[in-house]
Chain A
């Protein structure tokens, strides 16, 4: 049973910077896991932010960036806005087993 772990919650001040991480129970996350990041606000469908570790969709605000950090996938928000308060999910692709696993989500509070 593969488990993908995210911080359950984080708090950041408006204008600040915060990094969310995504770890795999199988070991270090690499680009081969094609990490995706999604934002979900209450009552809404998820919205895609990042794919293949660091690539942004056309609608992704510039303040969002993806990377690999210390064996984990990471999502960094720089210059956080109040509207960034949301749940954030990572998704990893395990090609060998042909399955995808979501992290448990990080609830980001902007305070």
Chain B
């Protein structure tokens, strides 16, 4: 069983839509949760970082962690064509230790 499961998509939405991206995981020891955005032919860049359970909001982006269900989500409000990218979730047990990544979800926002 993979440590982290993520639906690869692809996901296609109209501009202005609310997007929900999700990951599930099997290791209950994960405490640090991240979302990365990767544009085509670029390396991943950090979008959101969350410790333990709860919500974190940054502009149009909200990261949600439910440790009881081993489920994390990234919500994008008022999606824009510039949000078109692959979104990867990542998690780790402790700070500075090995990261485990999902496969990434490909998102296209249509103008």
Q: Do A and B make up one complex?
A: no
